[in-house]
């Protein structure tokens, strides 16, 4: 941006834009919601972000005291994730990660869900996307994985199915506590290598 050289547009969508504020250490992002027809939704998003304080969730940040912005959109400030959106990390074959890394991510996700007493269905779908390196869509009727010869990988796949398979009754799906216990076990198994 010409009038703000330390501000870089890094994304935009239907409701606004996201800017990297490089002048701060560490850098942060600013989300400008300038196209949202419902200000109540914007206020709800802001409230949820303020309440979600956990080490495994992107952090809401207060607007810096010295920051000025001349446009009229609602602003939300958050920590900067240098690898970008999770969807980019999942599908970008230039970014390498191992099953051990996926298990560590799963542990962090299930810790946060356990902390907030939340359902694990969505977490299982995210882990499926990470393993398969593709996006889950409404066209996918049930979770299935590419075949694996590794028993440890199959155990991780079975945990994800237990969390998110639509063929399993909701009452029989894993809870956040069960998923966290199982992934901790898998992490121990994987580090024995």
Please state, in angstroms and rounded to a whole number, the distance separating the CA atoms of residues 42 and 172. 35
Give the SS3 label for residue 158: helix
Task: State the pLDDT at residue 43.
Answer: 74
At residue 90's C-alpha, the angle toward residues 88 and 91, to 5°, is 70
The C-alpha atoms of residue 53 and residue 76 are separated, in whole angstroms, by: 15
Q: What is the pLDDT along the chain (193 residues), one digit of tens a residue?
A: 556 668 999 888 777 889 999 999 988 999 887 665 666 776 777 777 777 776 667 788 888 999 988 776 688 898 898 877 777 777 788 888 888 889 988 998 898 888 778 889 988 888 998 888 887 776 666 788 888 999 989 999 999 999 998 888 889 999 999 999 999 999 998 876 5
Output the pTM of the full model.
0.67
Q: What is the pLDDT of residue 184?
A: 93
Binding residues: 31
Q: Which residues are annotated as a binding site for ATP?
A: 31
Could you give the C-alpha distances from 152 to 13, 37, 68, in angstroms and in order?
39, 48, 52
Provide the b/e sequence for 39-66 (b: ≥16 CB within 10 Å). eeebeebbeebeeeeeeeeeebbeeeee
**Predicted pLDDT at 91:** 78
pLDDT score of 181? 95
Using a 10 angstrom Cβ sphere, with 0-12 exposed, 13-18 middle and 19 or more buried, the burial of residue 100 is: middle
Domains and CATH numbers, the chain: 7-79 (3.30.200.20), 86-191 (no CATH)
- C-alpha torsion sign, points 94, 193, 165, 163: negative
Residues 156 and 103: beta-carbon distance below 8 Å: yes
């Amino acid at each position: 941006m010409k009038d703000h050289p330390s501000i870089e547009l890094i994304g935009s969508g239907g409701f606004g834009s996201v800017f990297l504020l490089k002048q701060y250490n560490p850098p942060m992002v600013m989300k400008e919601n300038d196209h949202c027809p419902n200000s109540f939704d914007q206020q709800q998003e802001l409230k949820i972000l303020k309440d979600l304080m956990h080490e495994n969730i992107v952090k809401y940040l207060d607007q810096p005291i010295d920051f000025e912005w001349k446009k009229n959109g609602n602003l939300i400030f958050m920590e900067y994730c240098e690898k970008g959106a999770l969807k980019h990390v999942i599908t970008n074959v230039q970014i390498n990660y191992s099953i051990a890394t996926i298990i560590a991510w799963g542990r962090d996700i299930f810790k946060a869900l356990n902390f907030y007493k939340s359902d694990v269905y969505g977490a299982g779908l995210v882990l499926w996307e990470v393993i398969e390196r593709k996006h889950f869509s409404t066209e996918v009727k049930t979770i299935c994985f590419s075949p694996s010869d590794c028993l440890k990988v199959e155990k991780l796949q079975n945990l994800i199915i237990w969390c998110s398979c639509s063929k399993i009754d909701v009452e029989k799906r894993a809870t956040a506590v069960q998923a966290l216990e199982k992934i901790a076990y898998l992490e121990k198994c994987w580090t024995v290598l």
